[in-house]
Chain A
Amino acid sequence: MVAMLELKNVEAFYGPIRALHGISLSVEQGGIVTVLGANGAGKTTTLRAICGMIKTTGSIKFEGREIFGKLTESVARLGIAHVPEGRGTFEKLTTEENLRLGAFTRRDRNAVAEDMDRVYGYFPVLAERREQQAGTLSGGEQQMLAIGRALMLRPRLMLLDEPSFGLAPMIVQEIFRIMRSINENDGVSMLLVEQNAALAMDLADQAFLLETGEVVMSGDTKTMKEDESIRTSYLGY
């Protein structure tokens, strides 16, 4: 069985500065994997490397094919939807236009219309804000919009960069519940970067722990939750 996504010995650079020092990780078909780590550990950089947004070395395989060195837009066209850090909203466009852009590469108009309804079903508040400028949505609404936009690609893999960032606990719960149902109903695999380790570990089957650009620990979330050092430094109990 080939992993859906497999990174081997990936290094990434911002100019001359090396931010990832040989990362290896994989996401199984239909699985949810979380990447945890302190600020500056290289979580966002890992997602950027997958999408060809930054200079990288090593090997990145998606469904068995090497995607290393591809343009960001080509990676997206393979079915990898990235919900970026900071949400990446098209602020001057309406909510609906943001969602339409998510489906830009698709030609199956009827299915796109269905997916639009599905997104509005997951996030009814977005339907109410259809014609509103996306920049004027609240932070939580913009996060929902970013996830919705990614869903419109009908992706096989979603990369989520701190979807809980800056959101009220109630909304975070809601978004995580929706992510689980997207994973279960639509069979979308996920690579989830999170600060909220407890929630992320509940959702994910596998976790990778990053420290200054290196994987320092990885495994099943069940076993990792039992680990003393993880409990004290990440889960806080």
Chain B
Amino acid sequence: MEIFLQQVLSGLATGAIYASLALALVMIYQTTELINFAQGEMAMFSTYIAWALINAGMPYWAAFFLTIGISFVGGMAIERIIIRPVEKAPVLALVIVFIGLLVIFNSLAGWLWTYTIKEFPSPFPVGSPGGNTYIGFHQLGMIGVTLLVLLFLYLFFRFAPLGLALRAVAQNPVSSRLVGVRVGWMLALGWGLAAAVGAVAGMMVAPRLFLDPNMMGGVLLYAFAAALLGGTTSPLGAVIGGFTLGVLENLAGTYIPFIGTELKLAFALGIIILVLLVRPQGLLGKKIVARV
């Protein structure tokens, strides 16, 4: 029972990361109907920026917020400069652009900071509250920070005029233009937000994974599975999917002997295939009815 609880709680902590990244994927998917394969590498790159800032002597939280700001602007710039010109290109061309971005960020990080693994600090104390054996401060912190991010996004999309405009653009760009919404900038804003959310996920997961240019590969696969499980059209679904997968991953690793740590990625792929076969629209997603 103790092991079970431990696994569930630490699963929720990693699940928080999957949830954030899945949410970033959904945010871009809603306006473009494409999965940004570079989302993980963008988060990794942001984390390196934070690392460089901290190494240069900046206090943790200052570096944390500055990194979020840089990532936000960077995300917007990527949309404006790289995605914009190919916006109307065929899907395959866009997929190649995304993969190109992935490769560029990966090699750029390797070139700037080498491929040797680095330690990334946690802002939370070591150990666990009251010395309990279930969940440590850092894991609690990961969950807490993620919940704060989610709360912020919820309030933004629910109450801020810009958040409303973003939702409007996602469902009806033509009508959005007719009420004067600058659709191009809203798409850029979506990318900025996704990059910022990804940056938080990267900085939260890095103390556990260590920092290296390939750290996000596995995480992105899980985030992708989470987005699919929850429904790529539903932000809430993505979050639920993320937490669910974090827990499932841990439980499967503990209780299904042959999975262990080696087959964790295969497990994510298994989930992806299962979802696609059984419920392609995900738990909360909307079924897309194609006209024949």
The residues of A with any CB-CB pair to B shorter than 8 Å are: 51, 53, 71-73, 76-77, 81-82, 84, 88-93, 97, 100-102, 104-105, 149, 153
In the assembly, what is the distance between CA of A219 and CA of B176, in Å? 34
Which residues from chain B contact A105 at a C-beta distance below 8 Å? 179-180
Q: B257 within 8 Å of A by Cβ?
A: no
Q: Closest CB-CB distance, B173 to chain A, in whole Å?
A: 10
- Determine if B168 and A102 form an interchain contact, defined as CB atoms under 8 angstroms apart: no
Which residues from chain B contact A102 at a C-beta distance below 8 Å? 179
Q: Chain A residue with minimal CB distance to B182?
A: A73
Q: Closest CB-CB distance, A80 to chain B, in whole Å?
A: 9
How many CB-defined contacts (below 8 Å) exist between A and B?
64
- Determine if B167 and A93 form an interchain contact, defined as CB atoms under 8 angstroms apart: yes
Q: B161 within 8 Å of A by Cβ?
A: yes
Give 25 CB contacts A-B under 8 Å: A53-B174, A71-B182, A72-B178, A73-B177, A73-B183, A81-B178, A88-B172, A88-B178, A89-B172, A90-B168, A92-B167, A93-B164, A93-B167, A93-B168, A93-B171, A97-B164, A100-B161, A100-B164, A101-B165, A101-B168, A104-B161, A104-B179, A104-B180, A105-B179, A153-B179
In the assembly, what is the distance between CA of A92 and CA of B166, in Å? 13
Q: B283 within 8 Å of A by Cβ?
A: no
The residues of B with any CB-CB pair to A shorter than 8 Å are: 161, 164-165, 167-168, 171-172, 174-183
Q: Closest CB-CB distance, B224 to chain A, in whole Å?
A: 24
Which residues from chain B contact A97 at a C-beta distance below 8 Å? 164
Which residues from chain A contact B165 at a C-beta distance below 8 Å? 101, 104
Which residues from chain B contact A93 at a C-beta distance below 8 Å? 164, 167-168, 171
Q: Chain B residue with minimal CB distance to A88?
A: B175
Which residues from chain B contact A91 at a C-beta distance below 8 Å? 171-172
Q: Closest CB-CB distance, B29 to chain A, in whole Å?
A: 15
- Determine if B171 and A101 form an interchain contact, defined as CB atoms under 8 angstroms apart: no
Q: Chain A residue with minimal CB distance to B167?
A: A93
- Determine if B179 and A101 form an interchain contact, defined as CB atoms under 8 angstroms apart: yes
- Determine if A101 and B164 form an interchain contact, defined as CB atoms under 8 angstroms apart: yes
- Determine if B174 and A101 form an interchain contact, defined as CB atoms under 8 angstroms apart: no
Across the A-B interface, give the 5 residue pairs with the lowest CB-CB distance, nearest first: A88-B175, A76-B180, A105-B180, A72-B177, A77-B180
In the assembly, what is the distance between CA of A222 and CA of B14, in Å? 74
Interface centre among B168, B172, B177, B181 (most CB of A within 10 A): B177
Q: Closest CB-CB distance, B160 to chain A, in whole Å?
A: 11
Known contacts A101-B164, A149-B179; 14 additional CB pairs below 8 A are A53-B177, A71-B182, A73-B176, A73-B181, A73-B183, A76-B180, A81-B179, A90-B167, A90-B168, A93-B167, A93-B168, A93-B171, A101-B181, A104-B180
Interface centre among B164, B171, B178, B182 (most CB of A within 10 A): B178
Which residues from chain A contact B182 at a C-beta distance below 8 Å? 71, 73
In the assembly, what is the distance between CA of A69 and CA of B172, in Å? 22
Q: Closest CB-CB distance, A190 to chain B, in whole Å?
A: 16
Which residues from chain A contact B183 at a C-beta distance below 8 Å? 73
Q: Chain B residue with minimal CB distance to A97?
A: B164
In the assembly, what is the distance between CA of A100 and CA of B167, in Å? 13
In the assembly, what is the distance between CA of A17 and CA of B165, in Å? 33
- Determine if A71 and B177 form an interchain contact, defined as CB atoms under 8 angstroms apart: yes
* Contact (A89, B175) CB under 8 Å given A97-B164, A101-B164, A101-B168: yes
Which residues from chain B contact A82 at a C-beta distance below 8 Å? 178
In the assembly, what is the distance between CA of A77 and CA of B181, in Å? 9
Interface centre among B168, B174, B175, B180 (most CB of A within 10 A): B180
Q: Closest CB-CB distance, A17 to chain B, in whole Å?
A: 19
In the assembly, what is the distance between CA of A203 and CA of B147, in Å? 56
Q: Closest CB-CB distance, A205 to chain B, in whole Å?
A: 25
In the assembly, what is the distance between CA of A98 and CA of B112, in Å? 47
In the assembly, what is the distance between CA of A89 and CA of B178, in Å? 11
Which residues from chain B contact A104 at a C-beta distance below 8 Å? 161, 164-165, 179-181
- Determine if A76 and B178 form an interchain contact, defined as CB atoms under 8 angstroms apart: yes
In the assembly, what is the distance between CA of A153 and CA of B174, in Å? 16
